[in-house]
């Protein structure tokens, strides 16, 4: 099984870019399943129901989210109605809209897909360690391969989660910081891991955002309206080659297109 994980989608320009490029990339690279983080899809802060639908039409099978999951009010009912194809961090309180994991059928294999948020420099949610432990216990016997989007700020927290679940969650990747890291690896017990996938969006700005606005914010510390940057767009992510029968990842490959 080949799983493509794409970094945070930033703005409508990135959705349009994926609509143009992703199906061909999937075909050329024999991708069986594609997951992408969509929490910045609607002009940086959140995702609308319409944009979620658009992303799912580009060739993305599952959307994960993060700390901006609830930035757009119309996503609340969409999350509840589409639990099979869009998930928010599982360590939010249980009465939050949507769900934090789903089981996706891929080539007769069952992929347990989980989304969690880190707590360092982010909201003080439930422990991502305990949350994933409970999900794995609850769904034991109902899945063949597990996947985890660790939406977190701190590299150390992502690495700690990756090491803790090595051998129990086969595919693990970080999102949120929008810069691809160079630590793609197969961990000692066979799990594939990378600290951050990068992003799908304009590369000339700052994390996909207009550079002048971000610089103004840092220099003045005044409230600033952010907008999506102009310029060339690219998509960044990782391909995980999974041996489903052995429950291990054979190879982790960074990609950009």
**2-201+236-256: in CATH 1.10.10.10:** no
Which pLDDT belongs to residue 124? 94
Check whether 103 has a pLDDT greater than 90.
yes
Q: Provide the pLDDT confidence category of residue 224 given band limits of 50, 70 and 90.
A: confident
Q: Is 68 a catalytic residue?
A: yes
Q: Provide the pLDDT confidence category of residue 45 given band limits of 50, 70 and 90.
A: confident
Check whether 255 has a pLDDT greater than 90.
yes
Give the separation between CA 50 and CA 45, rounded to whole angstroms: 15
Check whether 27 has a pLDDT greater than 90.
yes
Which pLDDT belongs to residue 245? 87
Which pLDDT belongs to residue 43? 84
150 near 174, Cβ under 8 Å? yes
Give the separation between CA 257 and CA 12, rounded to whole angstroms: 17
What mean pLDDT is predicted for residues 118-139?
97
Write out pLDDT tens, residues 49-65: 999 999 999 999 999 99
Taking the domains of the chain in order of start, what are their residue ranges?
Answer: 2-201+236-256
91 near 100, Cβ under 8 Å? yes
- CA end-to-end distance (rounded Å), the chain: 21
Query: Higher model confidence: residue 224 or residue 26?
Result: 26
0.85 exceeded by pTM: yes
What mean pLDDT is predicted for residues 229-253?
95
pLDDT averaged over every residue in the chain: 96
Write out pLDDT tens, residues 62-99: 999 999 999 999 999 999 999 999 999 999 999 999 99
Check whether 137 has a pLDDT greater than 90.
yes
Nearest to 66 by CA among 99, 38, 41, 93: 38
| Annotated catalytic residue, options 68, 151, 176, 178 | 68
Give the separation between CA 182 and CA 252, rounded to whole angstroms: 11
Which pLDDT belongs to residue 186? 98
Check whether 177 has a pLDDT greater than 90.
yes
Query: Higher model confidence: residue 211 or residue 133?
Result: 133
Query: Higher model confidence: residue 169 or residue 227?
Result: 169
């Amino acid at each position: 099984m080949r799983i493509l994980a794409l970094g945070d989608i930033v703005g409508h320009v990135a959705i349009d870019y994926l609509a143009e490029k992703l199906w061909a990339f999937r075909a050329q690279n024999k991708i069986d399943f594609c997951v992408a983080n969509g929490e910045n899809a609607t002009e940086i802060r959140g995702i609308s129901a319409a944009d979620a639908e658009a992303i799912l039409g580009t060739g993305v099978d599952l959307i994960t989210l993060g700390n901006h999951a609830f930035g757009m009010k119309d996503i609340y009912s969409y999350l509840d109605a589409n639990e099979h194809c869009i998930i928010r961090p599982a360590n939010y309180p249980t009465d939050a809209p949507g769900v934090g994991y789903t089981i996706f059928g891929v080539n007769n294999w069952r992929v347990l897909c989980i989304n969690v948020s880190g707590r360092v420099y982010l909201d003080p949610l439930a422990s991502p360690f305990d949350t994933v432990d409970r999900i794995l216990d609850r769904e034991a016997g109902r899945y063949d391969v597990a996947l985890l989007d660790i939406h977190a700020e701190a590299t150390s927290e992502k690495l700690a989660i990756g090491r803790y679940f090595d051998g129990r969650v086969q595919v693990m990747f970080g999102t949120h910081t929008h810069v691809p890291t160079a630590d793609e690896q197969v961990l000692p017990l066979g799990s594939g891991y990378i600290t951050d996938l990068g992003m799908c969006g304009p590369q000339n700005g700052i994390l996909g955002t207009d550079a002048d606005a971000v610089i103004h914010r840092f220099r003045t510390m005044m409230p600033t309206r952010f907008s999506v940057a102009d310029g060339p767009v690219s998509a960044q992510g990782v391909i995980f080659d999974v041996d489903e029968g052995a429950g291990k990842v054979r190879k982790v490959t960074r990609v950009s297109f």
